[in-house]
Structure 1
Amino acid sequence: MKKILLPALGLAFLLDTTTESCAQANLIHGITAGIGLARMAANKKDASAAKKDAPAAATSTYRGQVFPMQRTPADQLPKKGAEQVTEVETQLDRFHTALLADSASALCTPEQRTAIQTALVGLARAQSRWDLQPYQQEATFYLAEDARRQKAASTK
């Protein structure tokens, strides 16, 4: 990041001496875009390292829709954030059990909806390098299915 920032500051200093404001604005936008691209590249490196740390997600199917189901074996839990991983996976297991138990009733209460969101936030804080996407996709699937079921029940 320092390698990018120093030339950008040098160009900004040189822009101070030019008189054409349109060219100056275009150059500033170009510099800003370049810095943004550099940050995105750095984030991709961090994300690929995080994917190496997290176990691979399996998939499950319900009513023709495929969704990830990531569960971490106890011996692969990270030292930092193990409790949060277990909490998220426990919440997701509750949704999955409710999903398979009945095809019409609601999957969760408002308290359970809040609990999964809180658990995901807690895991993100405790394990910032962990790949949360499979957990988020699974939770999103369950919440969408819950909303579909509640809407179907209210139209009867």
Structure 2
Amino acid sequence: MRMWSLHPSLLDRQGLIACWREALLAQAVLAGRTAGYRHHPQLTRFREAQDPMAAIGAYLMELADEATARGYRFDRTRIDGPLESAPIRVTTGQLRLERDHLAAKLRVRSPEWLPRLDASPTPHPLFVTVDGGPEPWERASGD
């Protein structure tokens, strides 16, 4: 499961679609509708949010907005509950790690997308950037 902290505009088609699917799965986990992935480390930041369902709803809404901007049709009716959330913090180190992880994926599947990645990557609008290394929950291997 990879729910990127990066702005959805930085994701290629495959990354955006996969993120949408995985965030929908995360929403089901947070809502208690599935037993799988309950202990996935990337869910930590959503569980720690003031309102976890609002946080995942806001996350999904931004993905849907990016999809619409590209001419894709993500089914917004699949988003549960509130669509606005208090910001969640993400560290500069986490954003750099994710940028590098995404760059490695893009080199293989969408090299034309690489120029979108900046040295200082923009976070998903749900997140506010703070100084620090990678998040403690990060595993960044083979996802």
TM-score scaled by structure 2?
0.29
Greater RCO (CA < 8 Å, at least 6 residues apart) = 2
TM-score scaled by structure 1?
0.27
